[in-house]
Amino acid sequence: MEEKKLEQTYAIELKNITKRFGKIVANDGINLQVKRGEILSLLGENGSGKTTLMNMISGIYFPDEGHIFVDGKEVSIRSPKDSFDLGIGMIHQHFKLIDVMTAAENIILGLKGSAVLDMKKVHKDIQELVDKYGFDLDPAQKVYTMSVSQKQTVEIVKMLYRGANILILDEPTAVLTPQEVDKLFDVLRNMRDDGRAIIIITHKLNEVLELSDRVSILRKGKYIGTLQTSEATVESLTEMMVGEKISLDINRPMPHDLKKRLTIDTITCTNEDGLHTLENVSFEAFGGEVLGVAGISGSGQKELLEAIAGLTKLSSGSVVFHSPEGEDIDLAKYNAAQINELGVRHSFVPEDRLGMGLVGSMGMTGNMLLRSFRKGKGFFTSLKAPKELAEKIKEIMMTIPNIIDPSVPIGKDDSENVELERFGEPVVPDFEVPYHTEIMESFDGIDLDSARKVAGNGFYYLMGDIARLHSAVIAYARDFMIDRGFTYCVPPFMIRSNVVTGVMSFDEMDAMMYKIEGEDLYLIGTSEHSMIGKFIDTTTEEAELPKTLTSYSPCFRKEKGAHGIEERGVYRIHQFEKQEMIVVCKPEESKDWYEKLWKNTVDLFRSMDIPVRTLECCSGDLADLKVKSVDVEAWSPRQKKYFEVGSCSNLGDAQARRLRIRIKGENGNYFAHTLNNTVVAPPRMLIAFLENNLREDGSVAIPEVLRPYMGGKESLQPKK
C-alpha cells in the first residue's frame, strides 16, 4: 500500500511554465510532473530548454508565467536557498567544490550551526548516507586528490546531507567511465527505491532506456510529451526530439589502399608521482583510414598523443613512424623539436589549444613565428616567412568542406539526387510546344544576334512584352516576399575579395566570378554574396534575430563549359536578374528556416500555374560550404521533364566563420547560421512560364497574380 502511495504522489509539478530572455522564449507553457520514487529522464536537443527549466526549479531563474507545486502545494522559488528549503537539490555539470578542502568540509560549507563544529559527528552522518545508498566516498579525502566520479559523489551527498528529496542531475554521466556509470546508476536506483524523486538531463538514449522509469521530451522550448520508458525505443525518442524520423544508420565506406604509417608497441608512460598514465599500449595506424581513440577525459588519450608527438617521455616501448620512402624511424628516441627537424610529416593538435597549442593574445602570424624563432640569426627576426605560412594555412583551412547533415543522401553527382515531393499536376498539351526562344521570337521578344555582336555568346536583348513579363515576375516576387515578412533590399553589385572567399569555396569562385581588372572588386554571381557580406564583422543580439532579407540584383557568371541545346537560349547565360532570400539566424533555428525558404519558392511558382518538384541534393552535388540543399525544378511540357529553377541551401556556420558573423548570447558570443534561396531567376524562369502557360493559338495566358504588373493584361498575343 505504501509503495502505491509513493507512486501516486507528485513530488514536483510544473504548470504552464514560461521563461523569456528578451524576445527569446526558452520555455513555452511547459507542464511536467515528477513522482516520488521514480527516475524521470528529461530529453531534448541542445537549446530545447531542459537546463533552463531545471534552473527554475533550483532557484537560479524565476519563471515569467506558470506555477510550481511541491508535494501538492504551490511554491515560489526565487533563489537556490528557497529551493534547498523545499528539499530540492541540483547537481550541475560543473562541480562547485573547493579543491583544498575535504569532502566533509565541502558538504557542510555554508550550513548554519554553532561556531565550533563537531567534525566527528559530521563524518559519522556522512558515512551513514554513504553506506545507505552505496556511495564510494571517504569524508576526509581532499577534493584535489579525487577522480571526477568521486567529486560528483561529493555533490550528490552534499544535497542529501542538506535534506534534498528531489534531485536534479545535469548530464551526470558525461565524464564518467562505463564502470563509474554503472555504479552511479546503482546508487540512483537505491535512492529511488527510498522514495526520492530524481530528474536526469541527458542526451544518451541508451542510458535513458536503462535507468529511467519515465521520459519527458522538450523540443524548441515546448513540451512534447511523456511516456513510460518501457514503451520507448531509441527511434521513437529520436523522432520526438527532432520532430521527424531520423535514420540512425551510417553509410560508412570501407578504407582501401591502406599503408602502415605508425606502430605503437607496448608503450608505458609514468607521471611525476610515479603512477602509470599509459601502460603497455599497442596499436597500428594506417594511411587511408581514420583511427578513433575512445575514452573519457583522464583515461590516457592526452598522454598517448603527447607520447607520439614527443612531448612525453616513454618509460618503455616504442613509437615507430613508417615514412612513405620506406624508412622506419623510432620517434621515442627524439623530443618534439628533434622530431620536427627530422622532417617527420605528422602534426599534433593538443587538447588544450589555448593553453598549450596557441598564444591567444597573438594573431596567426605571431603564432607561426613561434615555430621558427630558433632559426633567427640575431636579436631581430624576419616576419616574412611566418606571414607566408599564416596565409598558406588560412588558404588551406578555407578549402576544408563543411560537414553535411546526416540526412543528406550519399551519391556521386546530381544524377543521384533524390526526388522529395511534387506540387501541381504536370501537363503535356495536345499541340507541339516550340523551343523557348522560338516562343519569345513570336512576340518579337528576344534578340540574341545583336547581343552576340555587342557582348558575345551568353547574353541577350529582351524586348517588348517578354521584357515586360520579365520585369513583372521580378516585381511580383519582390512583393510576394515582402508580404511574407522579409525586408526588401537592393545590394551592391560588386564585392571585395574578402567577401567572395567568405561566401563561397575557391572552386565556386573560379567557376563563377568575374573580376574587375585592377580593382579588388568582383561582379556578384548572385545577390546572396553581397547580402551575406552585409553582416561581415558584426555581432548581433539574439533578440534581433532572425534577419530575413529579400534582395534584387543582376547576376554575372562565367558558366564555364559546353552545354547542349536545352541549355542554350536564355537557360545558361552570363547575365541575368534574380530575386533572392537570405536568413541569418541562431543555429537551432536554421533547420526550420530551411523548410520555410524552399516552400516560399514552391508557393510562388504554383501561384503562376507552374508545376514544380523538389530534389534533395546528394553529397556529391553539394558545394563545399553547404550542410544541406534542395533544388526546386519546374515542369517543362516541351522536354516532358523537370529542370532546375532555384536552389535552397543551409550553410550552417561556414559563412559566419569566414566572415566573422557572430551572435551575442546570454553565455557569450557564438557564430550564426546562414541560409539562402532563390525566389525566382528570370529569364530562365520564363522558359517554364511560357511553356506552361502557352495556348494552342500561340498566345500566353497571364496568371491572375501577374496581371497588376502587366497593365491588367490577361494574355500575350503573338506578333508573328
> Quick one: which of 505, 512, 553 has its CA closest to 530?
553
Cell of 184: 552511479
pLDDT at 509: 74
Contact between residue 39 and residue 211 where contact means Cβ atoms under 8 Å apart: yes
Contact between residue 530 and residue 517 where contact means Cβ atoms under 8 Å apart: no
Mean pLDDT in residue range 496-520: 82
> Quick one: which of 620, 624, 614, 414 has its CA closest to 511?
624
Q: Residue 642 above 50 pLDDT?
A: yes
Q: Residue 702 above 80 pLDDT?
A: yes
Contact between residue 62 and residue 56 where contact means Cβ atoms under 8 Å apart: yes
pLDDT at 424: 94
> For residue 289, what are the contacts with CB-CB under 8 A and spacing of at least 6?
255, 258
Cell match 522514495: residue?
Answer: 195
Q: Residue 567 above 50 pLDDT?
A: no
pLDDT at 7: 44
pLDDT at 411: 87
Contact between residue 18 and residue 24 where contact means Cβ atoms under 8 Å apart: no
CA–CA gap between residue 121 and residue 119 (Å, rounded) = 5
Mean pLDDT in residue range 417-434: 93
pLDDT at 276: 80
> Pairing state of beta strands 276-287 and 259-270?
antiparallel
Q: Where are the alpha helices (DSSP H) in 288-415?
A: 301-309, 336-341, 364-369, 384-397
CA–CA gap between residue 408 and residue 154 (Å, rounded) = 45
pLDDT at 430: 92
pLDDT band at 5; cut points 50, 70, 90 = very low
| 119-156 residues labelled b (16+ CB within 10 A) or e (exposed) | eeebbebbbebbeebebebbbeeebeebebbbbbbbbb
pLDDT at 373: 61
Q: Residue 460 above 80 pLDDT?
A: yes
Contact between residue 90 and residue 77 where contact means Cβ atoms under 8 Å apart: no
Tell me how far apart the 2 most distant CA atoms of the chain are, in Å.
Answer: 107
First to last CA, the chain: 93
Give the three-state DSSP class for 93: coil
Cell of 65: 508565467
Q: Residue 489 above 90 pLDDT?
A: yes
pLDDT band at 388; cut points 50, 70, 90 = confident
pTM over 0.85: no
Most confident range, picked from 217-221, 311-315, 405-409, 659-663: 659-663
Contact between residue 700 and residue 609 where contact means Cβ atoms under 8 Å apart: no
pLDDT band at 440; cut points 50, 70, 90 = very high
- Percentage of residues in the chain with pLDDT exceeding 70? 87
pLDDT band at 4; cut points 50, 70, 90 = very low
Count of beta carbons in the 10 Å neighbourhood of residue 706: 21
Cell of 358: 596557441
Which residue type sits at 90?
M
Q: Residue 605 above 70 pLDDT?
A: yes
Of the listed ranges 113-127, 461-475, 626-640, the least confidently predicted one is: 113-127
CA–CA gap between residue 331 and residue 27 (Å, rounded) = 54
Q: For 433, left (φ over 0), alpha (ψ -120 to 50), or beta? A: beta
Of the listed ranges 56-60, 420-424, 701-705, the least confidently predicted one is: 56-60
